[in-house]
Amino acid sequence: MTILVTGGAGFIGANFVLDWLAAGGEPVVVLDKLTYAGNLDNLAALRGDPRLVFVHGDIGDAALVSGLLGRHAPRAVVHFAAESHVDRSIADPEAFIQTNVVGTYRLLNAALTHWQALPRPEAAAFRFLHVSTDEVYGSLAPDDPPFAETHPHQPNSPYSASKAASDHLARAWFHTYGLPVLTTNCSNNYGPFQFPEKLIPLIVRNALAGKTLPIYGDGGNVRDWIYVADHCAGVRRVLEAGRPGEIYNLGGNQEKTNLDVVRTVCARLDAVRPRADGRGYAEQIAFVKDRAGHDRRYGIDARKAERELGWRPAESFETGIEKTIAWYLGHAEWVEKVTSGAYRDWMTQQYGGTGA
Ligand code: NAD
Ligand code: TYD
pLDDT in tens, 62-91: 999 999 999 999 999 999 999 999 999 999
Residue 197 near residue 343, CB atoms below 8 Å: yes
Q: Is 248 a catalytic residue?
A: no
CA 331 to CA 173: how far, in whole Å?
41
**Which ligand is located closest to the Cα atom of residue 98?**
1
Q: In 3-state terms, what secondary structure has residue 206?
A: helix
Strands 127-133 and 188-190: unpaired
Q: CB of 284 within 8 A of CB of 212?
A: yes
- What fold, for 3-194+227-254+296-315? Rossmann fold (3.40.50)
Kindly state the percentage of the chain with pLDDT values over 70: 97
Q: Rounded to the nearest whole angstrom, what is the distance from the C-alpha of residue 103 to the centroid of ligand 1? A: 12
Beta carbon of 2 within 6 Å of any ligand 1 atom = no
Helix, strand, or coil (residue 219): coil
- Active-site hit among 58, 105, 137, 159: 159
Q: Distance (Å, rounded) from C-alpha 284 to C-alpha 88?
A: 24
- Please give the average per-residue pLDDT across 199-220, as a whole number: 98
Indicate if the pLDDT at residue 316 is higher than 70. Answer: yes
Rounded Cα distance, 124 and 219, in Å: 48
Q: Percentage of the chain with pLDDT > 90?
A: 94
Domain ranges of the chain: 3-194+227-254+296-315
pLDDT of residue 10: 97
Please give the number of the atom of ligand 1 that sits closest to the Cα of 79: 32
> Does the model's pTM come out above 0.95?
yes
d(CA 147, CA 138): 9
- Which pLDDT band, with edges at 50, 70 and 90, does 355 fall under? very low
Q: Whose CA is nearest to atom 5 of ligand 1?
A: 10
| 43 Cβ closer than 6 Å to some ligand 1 atom | no
- Please give the mean pLDDT across all residues of the chain: 96
C-alpha torsion sign, points 352, 288, 213, 276: positive
User: What pLDDT does 356 receive?
Assistant: 41
Q: Is the pLDDT of residue 346 over 90?
A: no
Instruction: Specify the pLDDT at position 350.
Output: 76
Q: What's the average model confidence in pLDDT over 95-116? A: 98
pLDDT for residue 344: 58
Q: Measured in angstroms, how far is the CA atom of residue 326 from the centroid of ligand 1?
A: 23
Pocket lining: 133 vs ligand 1, CB cutoff 6 Å: yes
pLDDT of 59 reads 98
Which residue among the candidates 83, 134, 255, 301 is catalytic per the annotation? 134
Residue 341 has pLDDT above 80, yes or no: no
